[in-house]
Amino acid sequence: MSLHADLASLVSSLDQMLERIESAAEAVKGTSEEVLLVDLYEVERNLKMANRRLNRVLAAHEP
């Protein structure tokens, strides 16, 4: 598999993880587990930063 394909796959995986984190945050809003929101938002923020950075790397290695 090429580097570009590997990077594109990683971007897709990060997108899926972001969707799952967002769903988890929505699920705990207004519940007794709402204290988890701070941590979930922190994870989401870091995944978004990683996703942006990886997208820049992907763009720089266009075939």
Residue 4 main-chain phi, psi, to 5 deg: -60, -45
pLDDT tens string 21-58: 999 999 999 999 999 999 999 999 999 999 999 999 99
Domain range for 29 = 3-60
Query: pTM of the predicted model, to two decimals?
Result: 0.85
What is the per-residue pLDDT for 34?
92
- Banded pLDDT at 20 (limits 50, 70, 90): very high
What is the per-residue pLDDT for 17?
97
What is the per-residue pLDDT for 41?
97
What is the per-residue pLDDT for 62?
81
Structural domain total, the chain: 1
3-state secondary structure of 31: coil
Q: How many CA atoms lie within 13 A of 40 on its CB side?
A: 18
Count of C-beta atoms within a 10 Å radius of residue 19: 10
CA distance 57 to 63: 12
